[in-house]
Structure 1
Amino acid sequence: MQIHVVKSKIHRVTVTGADLNYIGSITIDEDLMEAANLIEGEKVQIVNINNGERFETYTIKGNRKSGEITLNGPAARRVQKGDVIIIIAYGILGIEEAKVFKPALVFPNEENNLLT
């Protein structure tokens, strides 16, 4: 049997933009993506703390050290600039592997930058 487990999480980042006229996705500062072990094009779940919305999209690399978190395309209708969100990616593992797996958890500061 295999189960879905949290692989990566960027906890409590602030939305810096919402671009309805873009094709789709979420643009994430590349430093945050690397710290969370996310790759470009990976499916992620977005949880909006401000309004309770939950939806899925895929990742696009943003500029390093920019703090960018921009929801693009239809997802832009589910957030507003300034909303606080959680970005989660899941993996599929066997039960024994899942018991010892450690996800990449990232807790950025209020400017969406990595804490040093």
Structure 2
Amino acid sequence: MRIDVNEPNSVEQFWDGMREAAAAATRHQDDDLYEAIVKIGRSALAQGVELVPSSGFFLLCPVCSALSGQRCINVPGHPLDDSRLHAERVELAGKAIRGEVPLPRPLR
């Protein structure tokens, strides 16, 4: 199989795969798998892969407490509009994956 990294949606496909792996880590309560996924994400960012909004799926939502891999839900004062994730979750994920804030524990 040949993968074209310059394909227009290759970045989104990468993060979709990472999101699916993070959901599996949550489902199986596997902290080691989750930490490996974060290492891969950080390495990808270091190599120039852009961060996309779906990267918020890696973390627990600070607004509605949706788990890793789950979509957010509407809560008073924080409507989702057309998004699947709260803006605060997306922002937190970007900072955590870039190492700007400590990575919150993803599993409960």
Class of the TM-score when normalised by the shorter of the 2 chains: under 0.3
Q: Which has the higher strand share?
A: 1
The structure with higher relative contact order (CA 8 Å, sep 6+) is 1
Q: Which has the higher helix share?
A: 2
TM-score by length of 2: 0.23
